[in-house]
Structure 1
């Protein structure tokens, strides 16, 4: 069995492929990951600026997938 790795998606991407990569890792659609992100921002962070900072940090930390 192949070990799953968290990585940015090449095929399921809009900007950096971070949300698509999370969806592929957890077997969720990109739409479901986006809904979860929005609920987290509303419930915890309270600002869209925080979400942008977290997105950029996660994009830099996740490796690019290899074809």
Structure 2
């Protein structure tokens, strides 16, 4: 169920930011792998991890107070 919150724009920004960071991170890892650049791979990994964390935090906050 979706519950109404007062800070919808913040949640939307976190969701979009998380997805964009995840996509950019995966793209950077792909470029780093094809170009044999360890720096790009690490940067892509950090960006993808940050995006995943933002998405997980959004899901956890949405489900806060509800039993799993």
Q: Settle same-fold status: TM greater than 0.5.
A: no
Which one has the largest radius of gyration? 2
More helix by proportion, 1 or 2? 2
TM-score (norm 2): 0.30
More strand by proportion, 1 or 2? 1
TM-score (norm 1): 0.30
